[in-house]
């Protein structure tokens, strides 16, 4: 938890000497809490107080980086149990399982397929984050070769999955520059597996029942493995969700540093692809930072990535597109002009339907602070005056079309007459739902 000004004040000298540049120790504490000054601006703070403040200001969940380059991923550092309290910061990485038993050509093809899995949604690119390589062969050399092959064919970070320390060491040696995640510490192998992670300075997963995780985490740290991911392993989905929730509460409410790391869940269920994605979505919601799945059909990945996107956007900042004139296709002077709001979900729904109509069009996007049509209209953020102003702006849409005719959403048909008077444009009422747009635009063109 972030320190309050009062927590900080208790550790300051309270002499109000002003040498830090502010009039009182309390004022300095308030600035420090707001991250506006550094602690070393106070020359009189004791070493003991420094230690207390620094350790108390360490994030309750360590930020762990896996991979390198553009596709590296940062996990952890969350500060709240529920997204509406603030926001969740580091979205979970989705990993797709591949086996080192595949022959080389099949492995390359599968890795390339994983690389290619990305989707555009409401202006963002959603993609898979990891290749999770499992040592199914049980062969150390085969695992190391497969790790190298995966690395050579993907920018994505790699998760090495084996509980055999010798195999882990052989594979990690080949790709350690790319900072893979070592998924393999258990109670049985911790003495040697944690040392592999420590020697190579790589992040590692500890898998154990909930009650054993604190002790194993401490032991791994004592052995030098400081970047950890925790996996509570006992039971089915409800037990896992309960364990993840208990761990997250221990991190945030009790400040239990020994478990202050992100979590991983292996959700692989090759027999039931529907339940695999359902379960994975639940783990994304509470509170996994990495979820491993086996499926890579578009319906599986897109639905899971959409859940992740929805949970990990800031609930206080609606996702928005830039206001202005957008084009679909290659519109000309006779093309239709539609008007909508800058809420991403609204805009991209409209844009998708206009696009599927194959009628080149202009879409005029009004700045409604990221609210949808009816909400914006009710809050007076989508008004006749605003639309009229933009329709008649110099250098704007009026100079791109020969016919002054605008299509407004059916939900705000009530503004038709006033908008016509205010703007001088013909106003046509479009469909109430975006799905009606293709038929509507085609009928307009006839």
Query: Where do contacts with ligand SF4 occur on this chain (CB under 6 A)?
Result: 12-13, 15-20, 25, 28, 42, 44
CB of 9 to ligand SF4, least distance (A): 9
Q: How far is the CB of 13 from ligand SF4 (least distance, A)?
A: 4
Shortest spacing between CB 6 and ligand SF4, in angstroms: 14
Say which residues have a Cβ less than 8 Å from residue 267's Cβ, sequence separation at least 6. 276, 279, 280, 283, 291, 292, 293
* Nearer Cβ to ligand SF4 (22/391): 22
Residue 44 vs 112, nearer CB to ligand SF4: 44
Q: Write down the least CB distance from residue 23 to ligand SF4, Å.
A: 8
Kindly tell me which of 36 and 44 has the beta carbon lying closer to ligand SF4: 44
Closest approach of Cβ 35 to ligand SF4, in Å? 16
CB of 10 to ligand SF4, least distance (A): 12
Tokens standing for 56?
Answer: 């108390």
Question: Least separation, in Å, of the C-beta of 22 and ligand SF4?
Answer: 6
C-beta of 59: minimal distance to ligand SF4 in Å? 24
**Toward ligand SF4, which CB reaches closer, 13 or 424?**
13
Write a three-state SS string for the chain.
Answer: CCCCHHHHHHCCCCCCCCCCCCCCHHHHHHHHHCCCCCHHHCCCCCHHHHHHHHHHCCCCCCCEEECCHHHCEEECCCCCCCHHHCCCCCCCEEEEEEECCCCHHHHHHHHHHHHHCEEEECCEEEECCEEEEECCCCCHHHHHHHHHHHHHCCCCCEEEECCCHHHHHHHHHHHHHHCCEEEEECCCCHHHHHHHHHHHCCCEEEEECHHHHHHHHHHHHHCCCCCEEEEECCCCHHHHHHHHHHHHHHHHCCCCHHHCCCEEEECCCCCCHHHHHHHHHHHHHCCCCEEEECCCCHHHHHHHHHHHHHHCCCCCCCCECCCEEEEECCCCCCCCEEEEECEHHHHHHHHHHHHHHCCCEEEEEECCCCCCHHHHHHCCCCCHHHHHHHHCCCCCHHHCCCCCEEEECHHHHHHHHHHHHHHCCEEEECCCCHHHHHHHHHHHHC
Closer residue to ligand SF4 in complex, CB, 44/439: 44
Q: Which is nearer to ligand SF4, 30 or 107 (CB)?
A: 30
Token pair of 36 as six digits: 């506006």
Least CB distance to ligand SF4 at residue 4 (A):
16
Select 45 or 305, whichever has its Cβ closest to ligand SF4: 45
Nearer to ligand SF4, 25 or 223 (CB): 25
Is 15 or 58 the residue whose CB approaches ligand SF4 more closely? 15
């Amino acid at each position: 938890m972030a320190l309050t000004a009062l927590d900080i004040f208790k550790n300051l000298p309270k002499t109000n000497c002003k040498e830090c540049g502010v009039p009182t120790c309390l004022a300095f504490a308030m600035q420090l809490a707001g991250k506006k000054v550094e602690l070393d601006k106070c020359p009189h703070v004791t070493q003991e107080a420094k230690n207390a403040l620094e350790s108390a200001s360490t994030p309750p969940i360590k930020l762990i980086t896996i991979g390198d380059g553009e596709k590296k991923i940062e996990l952890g550092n969350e500060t709240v149990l529920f997204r509406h309290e603030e926001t969740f910061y580091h979205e979970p990485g989705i990993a797709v399982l591949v086996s080192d038993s595949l022959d080389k050509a099949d492995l390359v093809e599968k890795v390339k397929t994983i690389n290619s899995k990305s989707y555009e949604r409401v202006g963002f690119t959603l993609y898979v984050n990891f290749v999770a390589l499992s040592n199914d062969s049980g062969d150390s050399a085969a695992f190391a070769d497969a790790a190298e092959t995966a690395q050579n064919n993907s920018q994505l970070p790699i998760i090495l999955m084996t509980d055999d320390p010798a195999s882990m060491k052989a594979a990690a040696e080949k790709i350690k520059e790319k900072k893979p995640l070592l998924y393999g510490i258990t109670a049985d192998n911790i003495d040697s597996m944690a040392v592999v992670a420590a020697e190579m300075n790589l992040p590692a997963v500890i898998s154990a029942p909930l009650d054993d995780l604190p002790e194993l985490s401490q032991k791994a740290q004592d052995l030098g493995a400081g970047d950890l991911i925790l996996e509570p392993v006992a039971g089915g989905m409800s037990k896992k969700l309960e364990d993840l929730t208990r761990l997250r509460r221990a991190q945030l409410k009790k400040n239990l540093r020994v478990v202050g790391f992100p979590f991983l869940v292996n959700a692989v269920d090759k027999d039931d692809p529907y339940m695999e994605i359902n379960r994975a979505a639940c783990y994304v919601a509470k509170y996994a930072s990495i979820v491993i799945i086996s499926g890579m059909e578009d319906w599986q990945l897109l639905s899971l990535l959409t859940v992740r996107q929805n949970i990990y956007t800031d609930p206080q900042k609606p996702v928005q597109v830039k206001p202005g004139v957008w084009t679909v296709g290659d519109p000309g002077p006779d093309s239709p002009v539609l008007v909508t709001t800058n809420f991403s979900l609204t805009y991209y729904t409209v844009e998708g339907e206009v696009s599927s109509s194959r009628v080149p069009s202009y879409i005029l996007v009004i700045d409604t602070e990221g609210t949808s049509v009816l909400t914006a209209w009710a809050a007076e953020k989508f008004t006749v005056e605003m639309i009229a102003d933009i329709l008649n702006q110099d250098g704007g849409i009026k100079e791109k079309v020969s016919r002054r005719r605008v299509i407004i959403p059916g939900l705000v048909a009530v503004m038709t007459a006033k908008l016509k008077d205010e703007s001088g444009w013909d106003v046509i009422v479009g469909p109430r739902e975006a799905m009606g747009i293709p038929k509507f635009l085609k009928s307009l063109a006839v």
